[in-house]
A = this chain, B = another copy of it.
Amino acid sequence: MVDLKVEIAPGVTLKNPVLTASGTFGYGREYAPYFDISKLGAIITKGLSWQPKIGNSGVRITETACGMLNAIGLENIGVERFLTDELPILQKLNATVIVNIFGNNQDDYANLAAKLDGIIGIAALEINISCPNVKAGGIQFGIDPQAAAKLVAAVRKKTSLPLITKLSPNVSDIVMVAKAVEEAGSDSLSLINTLIGMAIDLDRKRPVLGNVTGGLSGPAIKPVALRMVYQVAQVVSIPIIGIGGISNARDALEFLLAGATAVEVGTANFINPRAAIEIAEGVEKYLDEQGCVKVTDFIGSLA
């Protein structure tokens, strides 16, 4: 039996390399009827902000070729209610929990990090610096390496929790952002968030989404994600979590080969609520069949 344990950040060893992507796994408990969520490497919760957010109005999702666009607008219940209503349930379900956070400015992030610091039942923070509606002086944090680094450094000061910085793919050079964030003290990186896209309702002559543009996810983006993971893996020494269109065990294994220490399953959870656990089981089966002893031997072993 292959040893599936991976260390995705110093001191954060997961039982296997399959996690769930923020915003695609609710607060976790919604999946409990379908499988034992404690069997996943970790679950990453819907992006949390300080205050609850009601999200965008109008159409929020639409399907595109082998993908989907979402413009949820980061609807969430806010950190306070998460801690009182949701985290205890996740603990009862024995899930390994990583909390995804975002804010409107650097202070928001820092405050959230401080608030979550030391709370039992949180394994790490994932900082979403790639939300299209969060700007640092007109530029998204996720696009400007300096701004990203400053943000990570500020968050770093406020918490002893391991930090995973989630990168945007909508950049000219993701390697620069990755390096900046690594230097600023991020313990790991997760990539990619969604590509910015748009859909048009021809007959109504208007954008499909209430928000005009939205985030593209699903199998369509896998080649871009795989490329970025591969590129970043060549230059950083912190662990990488690969995300983007992962729909089955073979997809997940490709990301591991490219250099990801773990993966997050996103859109696939919507189509099949059991996708993440089936992927975890499939990865195990494949590596067993290959006679692989430790998944860490397999990671980054692309020729």
- Using a CB–CB cutoff of 8 Å, the interface residues on chain A facing chain B are 64-67, 69, 143, 170-173, 195-200, 202, 204-207, 212-213, 216, 218-224, 226-227, 230, 245, 250, 253-254, 257-258, 301-303
Nearest-neighbour CB distance to chain B for A194, whole angstroms, equals: 10
Those 3 A-B pairs whose CB atoms lie nearest each other, nearest first: A197-B223, A65-B219, A66-B66
- Given the known interface contacts A66-B67, A172-B172, A207-B302, the answer about A257 and B200 at a Cβ–Cβ threshold of 8 Å is yes
Residue of B nearest to A226 (CB): B198
* A65–B245 CB distance below 8 A: yes
List the B side residues contacting A301 at CB < 8 Å.
Answer: 205
- Given the known interface contacts A143-B172, A196-B224, A257-B205, the answer about A65 and B64 at a Cβ–Cβ threshold of 8 Å is no
Nearest-neighbour CB distance to chain B for A233, whole angstroms, equals: 11
Residue of B nearest to A142 (CB): B172
**In the bound complex, CA of A212 to CA of B303 (Å):** 11
List the B side residues contacting A213 at CB < 8 Å.
Answer: 227, 230
Nearest-neighbour CB distance to chain B for A83, whole angstroms, equals: 35
Sample of 6 more A-B contacts, CB < 8 Å, known A65-B245, A198-B226, A220-B223: A171-B172, A172-B172, A199-B226, A202-B250, A213-B227, A213-B230
- Given the known interface contacts A65-B219, A258-B200, the answer about A224 and B195 at a Cβ–Cβ threshold of 8 Å is yes
List the B side residues contacting A221 at CB < 8 Å.
Answer: 220
* Interchain CB contact (< 8 A) of A200 among B202, B224, B226: B226
List the B side residues contacting A172 at CB < 8 Å.
Answer: 143, 170-172
Indicate the member of A171, A195, A302 with the most B CB atoms within 10 Å: A302
**In the bound complex, CA of A171 to CA of B173 (Å):** 8
* A67–B220 CB distance below 8 A: yes
List the B side residues contacting A65 at CB < 8 Å.
Answer: 66-67, 218-220, 222, 245
Residue of B nearest to A177 (CB): B172
